[in-house]
Every structure is written in structure tokens, then in C-alpha cells.
């Protein structure tokens, strides 16, 4: 169940979510089966910069022993393009960071860094995009960690037909 609240500018400011873990739909007898797990209530509080761009999302979990509260912040360049998304662990340390780069007005690189425990243990997946006539012609995904630097993991070429 999700409920949303909006501000006077029609921006989401609060999202309430209730997930009932342990319930599943049975295809055998067409009923909801409960396995006795717990429900997790989650609140997401959205805040915005004066220019209307999303600044932060605070995620608060209740009734959960697994999930902790955390926040996500958003940074923009002088052209109001999103350049960084940072997810902070409940401890306040960076957990996942997406850095975005642009070239000629197009997204050219998205590097996602996931920290595993400490800053010395990390995984980076970088996606690079090549454009031709304003359309993505190729994307490449690279993998890096403590032992590997930018190993090509995937290459996709795109072709278009116009009618």
C-alpha cells in the first residue's frame, strides 16, 4: 500500500508504504497465504531546492530489524543537470554513489560506486554512451574493484529504423 502527499507545487513530499512480508498469492487455491512474518512500514520524505530540483530523500523504516534509516542526496551542475546521486547508509557513511558526466548535452558516462563495508572495498560499474545524430549508437559497461580496473563487461550497439 502506498500513499502520497504533495506540496502546493504538486511535488511529492511524503510517501508512505506498507509492505507485508510473508504474504503471497497462492495460485493453487487463489487466496492470500500468510507466513507470519512482520510488516515493514516505510516513510520517504522528499525535500527540494529553491529552484524546484530534488535535493534529498530521507527513508525511514519502522517495524524492521533488517532495514535501517538512510538518505539519498542529489547534486546538479550549473545547467541543472543531475551529476551525482549519493545513498548514505544508516551509519552516515556513503553506501552507493552515482556520478554522471555529460558531453555535448548528452549523458556520456554513469559511474556507480558501491562501497562494501569500508572505503577500501568497493565495486564500480561504469556505463559509457556514444551518440550519433542525437541517438545512442553504443553503450559499454565496465567493471572495476580493488583487483580489476575497467574490465569491459558488456557492449551493446543500437540500430534504428525510421518509418
Q: How far apart are CA 155 and CA 140, in angstroms?
A: 4
How many whole angstroms from its chain centre is CA 70? 13
Sheet architecture: strand order including 151-157? 2-6, 12-20, 39-48, 54-62, 70-76, 82-88, 94-103, 106-115, 122-132, 135-145, 151-157
Q: How confident is the model at residue 39 (pLDDT cuts 50, 70, 90)?
A: low
Q: What is the pLDDT of residues 103-115, one digit of tens each?
A: 999 999 999 999 8
What integer pLDDT is reported at residue 21 of this predicted model? Answer: 53
Q: What is the pLDDT of residues 72-90, one digit of tens each?
A: 999 999 999 999 999 998 8
Residues 6+ apart with CB under 8 A from 34: 20, 22, 23
What pLDDT sits at residue 49? 96
Q: What is the pLDDT of residue 161?
A: 93
Amino acid at each position: 500500500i502506498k500513499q502520497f502527499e504533495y506540496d502546493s507545487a504538486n511535488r511529492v513530499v511524503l510517501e508512505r508504504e506498507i509492505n507485508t512480508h510473508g504474504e503471497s498469492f497462492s495460485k493453487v487455491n487463489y487466496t492470500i497465504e500468510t507466513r507470519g512474518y512482520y510488516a515493514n512500514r516505510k516513510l520517504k520524505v522528499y525535500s527540494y531546492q529553491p529552484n524546484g530540483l530534488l535535493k534529498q530523500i530521507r527513508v525511514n523504516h519502522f517495524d524492521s530489524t533488517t532495514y535501517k534509516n538512510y538518505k539519498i542526496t542529489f547534486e546538479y551542475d550549473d545547467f541543472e543537470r543531475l551529476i551525482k546521486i549519493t545513498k548514505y547508509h544508516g551509519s552516515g557513511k556513503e553506501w552507493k554513489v552515482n556520478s554522471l558526466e555529460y558531453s555535448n548535452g548528452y549523458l556520456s558516462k554513469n559511474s556507480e560506486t558501491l562501497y562494501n563495508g569500508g572505503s577500501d572495498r568497493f565495486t564500480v560499474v561504469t556505463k559509457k554512451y556514444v551518440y550519433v545524430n542525437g541517438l545512442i549508437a553504443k553503450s559499454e559497461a565496465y567493471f572495476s574493484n580493488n583487483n580489476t580496473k575497467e574490465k569491459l563487461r558488456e557492449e551493446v550497439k543500437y540500430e534504428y529504423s525510421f518509418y
